[in-house]
Amino acid sequence: MSFGDGSWNKDRREPMALQRRIAILGTVALIAFGVVLFRLWYLQVLSGDRYLAEAQGNRVREVTVQAPRGDILDRDGETIVGNRTALALQVRKDELPERNAARTKVLKEVAQLTGLELEKVRKEIEEQTELLPSSPVTLQRDVPTSVVLFVRENQARFQGVSVDRVYVRQYPQGVLAAHLLGYVKEVSAEQLEEPEYAELEAGDEIGQDGVELTYDSVLRGVNGATRVPVDAAGTPTGRPTSVREPSQGNDLVLSIDSELQAAGEEGLFGRSGAFVALDVENGEVLAMGSAPTFDPSALAKPEISQATAESIFGDTQMTGTGAPAFNRAIAAGYPTGSTFKPVTALAALEADALTPTEIINDDGLYQVGTQEFRNAGDEVYGPIALREALQVSSDVFFYTLGARLEEEIEKDGDEYIQDWAMDLGLGDVTGIDVPGEALGRVPTPEWRNELFEDGDTDRPWSVGDNINLSVGQGDLLAAPLQLAVAYSALGNGGTVVTPHVGLRTEDPEGQVVQEITPPPAREVEIPDTWRGPIMDGLLSAAMEPGGTSYSVFGNFPVEIAGKTGTAETIVDGAEYDQAWYAALAPADNPKVAVVYTIEKGGFGVDTAAPAAREILEEYARNYLSVSQRQIDEAAATPTATTGTVVAE
């Protein structure tokens, strides 16, 4: 036998290679088995409790129970915003029939009941379920009784459909104080990304404007939850395993006096404008309103039509300052007319551009170069001092002061009028606890000159700008609340209050949780030697013959220190008169400042002053112990006038 061909070695190598392959495969199999064994040990031993909990969780559904918001009350405890229960038609997607045909049949019947298109119903179910899988889908709120009975009597036809109770905001006093209150809506996806709403879920409702927004964390309650056992298809299989009741939010008590608020709103009926009644000592807002207004209950619905949204939020007003939702009391900017004159007086007294008894001859005309500045109605008042100038509202007197103070700007750069205006609260936010406040504008040489350099106006600052500012005209813009803060500082001797509508918060049992007492913004020094003549002039303007508002307040049972104003305003190329009235009462020791303005209102004495009187009458009854008989007798007694009184 011959082995020279190598066949012996070949036969020997083949079994050895096979053994190696077997060994390798065995090792791989052993490792794989070890991995599987380790994984099983990990799942069953180390992670068994966690997966057991998840498995149990799959058999339990947690349903969120929305908490009612706290009530909003006026200062006397009367409810302005509360809650009511409403019947809502709801669908649970996981309880609908599994077969497509049966599910479509149910949804078609639901669409017919609600008046919605079938595709709209399907879209709502998908979108709401995606946002909040554990909660039912609300298709319609305030379901008619006929629908409730039909669904309940035919429940077999409406698998997965139910009628449940939900909480809805209600307004027992109608549209009263709508701009202050604001409204609530479901939290948006964008808001859920914000830190203050991190703990919320889609479907929760939050304040979107007004005090509903400012005090949302106070008013918002804590949701409850019900855990219900379900089968693999999500169908309930027994009684709830646990129930956590929702906790109602705390109540918010406002500083608003509902009777004063109603009186103020009545004066704006059918007009556009705003009003404020402010406690001069602590900044409590007793009343504040804007017109046109809106019905907040229209925004309490799950959905509002495009037409409703446009009627409330659309810019439909001729003034260009916004639609009904626009809060003119804090967000509008108007020239204030002659109500600004006390500010100019303070500036001139500080600059030594005037003494309290200095006589200035008012010949009806103040001229700068070829530019003429005249009194309203071309009146001539002759030699007058500060007190008389405020009583008759002499424009020439204050034009003179504006020109004198322009000399101070040119000489030393001292902007006395501008500084006093801003110190008293104009040209900046007041800090009120209602969102949407505008800055306003106190025009300065720097502001106008910068506009000129940028090509945004046709001329730089000139003496005429300061003259116009001295009587509240020109480029000045102020909100009624800002003017009320300024008059409050004049009335209380120099404290610039921080206005606020929140008074305190209370728990659902009525126990006080927090008092809301913001500190004053600052103190401004107003010497009595300056304040006295100014207050005397305002008193004479309202209570003495010849005063610009004597025809309205001459017989008022409480002495009023008040100032009319009529400002020329141009909107969309058309000029109209903005009517103003600003008052402090009682004149000898002011407790309240009332400011009223009416767009296209003509002379302040004709429209704004009578409207302000309505608020002041209510205030006198409620806070100054003036009887209704005194009010009625004063209203029935005509005010005699002597001499010429020019409407302003």
User: Is 505 a domain residue?
Assistant: no
Residues 612 and 465 both lie in one domain: yes
Instruction: Copy the structure tokens of residue 349.
Output: 């007294």
What is the domain range of residue 35?
7-57
Yes or no: say if 496 and 524 are a contact pair by the CB < 8 Å rule. yes
Residues 491 and 619 both lie in one domain: yes
User: Is 532 a domain residue?
Assistant: yes
Place of tokens 């149910």: 106
Long-range contacts of 508-514 (CB under 8 A, 24+ apart): 508/70, 508/248, 508/250, 508/251, 510/251, 513/218, 513/250
Pick the closest to residue 288 from 263, 252, 320, 321 (CA basis). 263
- E strands within 403-519? 495-496, 502-506, 512-515
Q: What is the pTM of this model?
A: 0.84
3-state secondary structure of 88: strand
Q: Determine the Cα–Cα distance for residues 66 and 141; give it in Å rounded to an integer.
A: 15
Residues 290 and 181 both lie in one domain: no
The count of domains in the chain is: 3
Q: What is the pLDDT of residue 8?
A: 47
Give the chain's length: 648
Q: What is the pLDDT of residue 425?
A: 97
Instruction: Copy the structure tokens of residue 89.
Output: 């038609």
Residues 79 and 139 both lie in one domain: yes
Q: Determine the Cα–Cα distance for residues 279 and 481; give it in Å rounded to an integer.
A: 12
CA distances in angstroms from 378 to 2, 152, 381, 393, 477, listed in the order given = 145, 78, 10, 12, 26
pLDDT per position as a tens digit, 3-48 = 455 454 555 555 666 667 676 766 766 776 766 666 665 555 555 5
User: Is 91 a domain residue?
Assistant: yes
Q: What is the pLDDT of residue 305?
A: 75
- Domain's final residue, options 196, 224, 252: 252
Phi first, then psi, for residue 382 (nearest 5°) are 75, -155
Q: What is the pLDDT of residue 56?
A: 52
Instruction: Copy the structure tokens of residue 393.
Output: 């509202």
Residues 6+ apart with CB under 8 A from 414: 351, 408
Residues 173 and 50 both lie in one domain: no
Terminal-residue alpha carbon distance, the chain:
141
User: Is 323 a domain residue?
Assistant: no
Chunked in runs of 10, what are the mean pLDDT values of the chain (648 residues)?
Answer: 49 61 69 66 56 54 79 97 86 82 86 83 77 69 78 81 83 96 87 84 86 96 76 59 83 98 95 97 98 90 76 63 86 96 98 98 94 93 98 98 97 97 98 97 98 95 97 97 98 98 96 97 98 98 97 96 93 84 98 97 96 97 92 78 62
* CATH number of the structural domain spanning residue 150: 3.90.1310.10
User: Is 146 a domain residue?
Assistant: yes
Residues 272 and 219 both lie in one domain: no
Residues 198 and 243 both lie in one domain: yes
Residues 609 and 629 both lie in one domain: yes
User: Is 247 a domain residue?
Assistant: yes
* CATH number of the structural domain spanning residue 586: 3.40.710.10
Residues 582 and 446 both lie in one domain: yes
DSSP track, 278-301: EETTT-BEEEEEEES---GGGGSS
Residues 244 and 352 both lie in one domain: no
Pick the closest to residue 179 from 304, 298, 294 (CA basis). 294
Q: What is the pLDDT of residue 91?
A: 83
Residues 94 and 72 both lie in one domain: yes
pLDDT per position as a tens digit, 371-418 = 999 998 899 999 999 999 999 999 999 999 999 999 999 999 999 999
Residues 360 and 267 both lie in one domain: yes
Q: What is the pLDDT of residue 90?
A: 80
